[in-house]
Amino acid sequence: MAKLLTLMVSVCLAATLASAPLRAEEKIADVEQAMKIIARNYRAISKSDDPALLTRDLQAIRSAAQQAQGMIPNKPKGMTEHSEAHKTYLTGLSKLEDQTDQALALLADGKVPEAKKVIGEMKTVRDHYHKELKVKD
């Protein structure tokens, strides 16, 4: 019985840690990690209507996007700090931040359906920039 209880606690703790949002002070190592954090939190907000969870996960997305702006991704190959591809990458992240801010403002006003609409539009922007930069999901 004790082993079963220990196993259950371990599974619950692992699930909690795996879904934990990015904290503001948490540093991201590379663009790939930032994109994984953004994707994980986007999946969570696309399935939720809870304003507190939406706010938490949108803040995690915003933090990851801000940190990713200071990095140069490995894909597409040959991207440099002054390349057109890098400018496109930065524009996409900037649009993501704008949408995140817009959704957060709507949530602060208690407008969950309107915030969810903005959240839905985030996927369209992601798809556009992934296609333009030839990034596979």
Give the whole-angstrom CA distance, residue 104 versus residue 114: 10
Tell me whether residue 130 is annotated as binding: yes
Is 35 annotated to bind ligand? yes
Q: Are 120 and 110 in contact (CB under 8 A)?
A: no
Terminal Cα-to-Cα distance of the chain (whole angstroms): 43
SS3 label, residue 23: coil
Alpha carbons 130 and 95: distance in angstroms, whole number: 13
Q: Which phi and psi (to 5°) does residue 58 adopt?
A: -65, -40
Annotated binding site: 35, 130
Annotated binding site for heme b: 35, 130
